[in-house]
Structure 1
């Protein structure tokens, strides 16, 4: 479904920054999602935060979806909020199951620290440039990543 004018503004500003920054724009139930190539996520995030017109000053959450057995296997959704503009947008990045690595956005939003650690801990997605990427919920010696769809329901033995 074609997105509303606000989504087009975000997509337009991202395209002005880099013509490859926007793979697609969609709207569902009034929520805008902009698909971004994984190699451009940090720059796109920085553009969304620093652009005076957009001013997405809050990263509300990073959500990971395991689409196993489909490829690309993982989908990361960055939920951004502009408090001054009362606006929201979601940036989506897809990652292959063979190479679930994406740049960290901690330099853009320091609050991403624990969100990225949670996604790493539960799904095994690695964030390049994260200053302290380690487990946050599970013990350090835990085997595997329990929210992956191929994780054994009875656990490892």
Structure 2
């Protein structure tokens, strides 16, 4: 089987015709934005089908405060070790509905990475076996990677948030 971006995209859209919202291939890396309610089914298919995308490389959170309906996101990097094929899946949600299914039943490695995304972004992973803060102080009371606070002292005139990509 020839694992190309086109082949994998066609296989996913054939199996889940309503699930893929956007697709692109930045730097040759197939990237799909999918409906969050379909994420677990899609990942299960990628893992257990002939595509054999059997390695979870990374899970990370992201925050886009300028897009209220898609303010929080989770990005998944998956890899077929035999063919060296990689795929990136993205799901987005509002702050009010910041929950997505856990992937721990499919990949044990998801456990720590989901806890980290919860810790830093407040993203909840439904049915996670031990979703709790692991890196920050549990009494901190906020999620430090959310872009809610100015990065510099407001009294400084030599710097502003534009210097930090905001």
What TM-score comes out, normalization by structure 2 length?
0.84
Listed as ranges, the matches of 1:1-157 within 5 Å are 6-52=4-50, 54-71=51-68, 72-151=70-149
Greater C-alpha Rg: 2
Partners in 2 of 1:122 and 1:141 — Cα distance?
13
Partners in 1 of 2:99 and 2:121 — Cα distance?
11
For structure 1, the residue ranges without an aligned partner over 5 or more in a row are none
Aligned residues: 149
Q: Secondary structure at the match of 2:104?
A: coil
For structure 2, the residue ranges without an aligned partner over 5 or more in a row are 153-166
Do the aligned residues in 2 keep the contact of 1:118 with 1:137 (CA within 8 Å)?
yes
Q: Secondary structure at the match of 2:47?
A: helix
Partners in 2 of 1:24 and 1:35 — Cα distance?
5
Report the aligned-residue RMSD. 1.6
Aligned-residue offset at 1:75: 2.0
What TM-score comes out, normalization by structure 1 length?
0.88
Q: Secondary structure at the match of 2:116?
A: helix
Q: Secondary structure at the match of 2:12?
A: helix
Partners in 2 of 1:93 and 1:23 — Cα distance?
10
Aligned-residue offset at 1:152: 6.2
